Chains A and B, each alone.
Chain A
Amino acid sequence: MARYKTTLASATLLVLVLAAWEYLPTALEVPKFIIPTLSDCLVELQRMWAYEQLLGHTLSTALFTVLGFAIGSLMGAVIGYLLGMSAFWEKVLSPYILALQIAPKVAFAPLFIMWFGYNSMPKLLVTVLIVFFPVLVNVLQAMRTVDRDLINLARAYNLSRLGIFFKVEMPSTLPNLMAGLRIASTLAVIGVTVGELVGGNTGLGFLISYGGGQANAAMVFDAIVLLTVIGFVLYSALVRIEDRVLHYLPKAEQ
């Protein structure tokens, strides 16, 4: 019942916002190149589909989002677990990790273009870099807080170091890993977009800078919406996986 109510409210809100978007700009005489209406955007979307290879650009962005996310989070998790197992290396590396974590990763994009040229490498690297840290930090934090008594229990049962990792530490840290992946999925879209904005001629980020250059606000709007959709799909997929993987956690009553 409560769930039905919230769905209804959300849907109503969506309709209201869409209606406002369609009619308010015209009513307030805001020009089309500042805020295009909903129908302007839909018309533009059709044009982009027909003349701007919209499908290709969207698929390219989606591909690099997923690829960058996969590589970055895999590296973040692996290095997080390795550092989590070695107190020594964690102490040695933690100031550098902190520094890199604070540094704005998107600002590396122009550098990467200088190093690798105008190809897919820079945007992939920016994405990997931006995805890497939240996963690493979440895993590391979780490895530090694994219940000592559980580890002692595993030791008393003669589990090897690797056995303790796979049977106790890894599953204990899974909720944090999943939380890190969720944050990372939203950042992946940002990484790809910045990479495409700064250099290159493919992807939705490119369409944004191209549309911006032509004062085609509708094109920019459309690209933003599509980027959001890509991020949303990735995020939802992760939430689904998380529900499956963490099925054993007690759920709060809804």
Chain B
Amino acid sequence: MALEFHSVTKRFTDNSGTSLTAVQDVSFDVQEGEFVSVVGPSGCGKSTILSMTAGLYQPSEGKVLVSGEPVEGPNSHVGFMLQKDLLLPWRNIVTNIEFGLEARGMGRADRRERAMAELRHCQLDGFENHYPHQLSGGMRQRAALARTLAIDPEIILLDEPFSALDAQTKLLLQNSFAGTIAETGKTTLLITHDLGEAVLMSDRILVLSERPGSIVAEIKVDLPHRDQPLKRRVMPEVGEYAAQLFKHLKLEEKAA
């Protein structure tokens, strides 16, 4: 199993001592090579789940395992990507992609070779010497993906990586991410607000309740073309899946 959550609860205590439960008793697992999305209302603890997987926080209760090992701190088994690209503005694209390799005692030439390979993988050929501010938002996210892939993590965590992009760029980028991820066979956990995106890109979708977040539904997406969301998009079943998610999130009741 690539990723396991065993009855994980996370509480935050603020300065005045009041505690807030962000996620409550969450259990799920992700198979190797699987693409799982997590959807849920804002503030329900989606990013918290990601941070615990990345080892940025420890769960208050329960266990998080990556490849069977408990997560004890930030580590290179998981690569994460946020809505912000987190590229270093003072480095050009290729050295940004090398960033994750630098603490590994890898030779300079090997690093460069690895980074250039990922750069091509993410369709950024010819931009290696550009600086982040010279790239479009979509290209910057691709560079961030290349940096994440360069460290060859066991799991890729994506926290709304497309939400800052315009509709067209988003579709193209979802397609290129899906292709690249399918090609590398990486296990992926995608956090998103966008129900359509979840259906287009995943093998499975976890639906979280309002805070404190707990899993209210698990939907298996039985559709082909996981590596090409643009192809999935035109399938009539996509609407049905989205409607199911809609129901689980009780959006209609909330609107009433």
Contacts and interface: CB of A to CB of B under 8 A. Distances in A.
Interface of A: 147, 149-150, 152-160, 163, 167-168, 171, 174, 248-250
B133 A156 contact: no
18 contacts: A147-B86, A150-B86, A152-B54, A152-B56, A152-B74, A156-B74, A156-B76, A156-B78, A156-B79, A156-B80, A157-B99, A159-B102, A163-B102, A167-B99, A167-B102, A171-B88, A248-B91, A250-B133
A159 to B, nearest CB: 5
A228 to B, nearest CB: 34
A157 B86 CA distance: 13
Interface in B76-135: 76, 78-80, 82, 84, 86, 88-91, 99-100, 102-104, 131, 133
Closest 4 CB pairs of A and B: A156-B74, A155-B74, A250-B133, A157-B100
Chain B contact-residue range equals 20 to 34
A250 B56 CA distance: 31
A161 B144 CA distance: 23
Given A149-B84, A156-B55, A160-B103, A174 B76 contact: no
A248 B90 contact: yes
A157 B76 contact: yes
A248 B133 contact: yes
Interface string B54-80: 111000000000000000011110111
Chain B interface main SS type = loop
A174 B91 CA distance: 13
A14 B192 CA distance: 60
B151 interface: yes
A53 B102 CA distance: 57
A152, A157, A163, A248: residue with the most chain B Cβ atoms closer than 10 Å:
A157
Contact of A157 (B73, B89, B131, B151): B151
Nearest to B131: A248
Nearest to B78: A156
A154 B102 CA distance: 10
B146 to A, nearest CB: 14
A168 B91 CA distance: 11
A160 B74 CA distance: 12
A171 B54 contact: no
A158 B90 contact: no
Given A147-B84, A248-B90, 4 more contacts: A158-B103, A160-B103, A248-B89, A248-B131
Nearest to A246: B90
A173 B100 CA distance: 21
Given A167-B102, A248-B133, A250-B133, A156 B75 contact: yes
A150 B133 CA distance: 17
Contacts of B133: 248-250
B103 A171 contact: no
Contact of B86 (A153, A155, A167): A153
Contacts of A160: 103
A171 B90 contact: yes
B75 A149 contact: no
Nearest to B134: A250
A97 to B, nearest CB: 23
Contacts of A149: 82, 84, 86
A150 B88 contact: yes
Contact of B103 (A163, A248, A250): A163
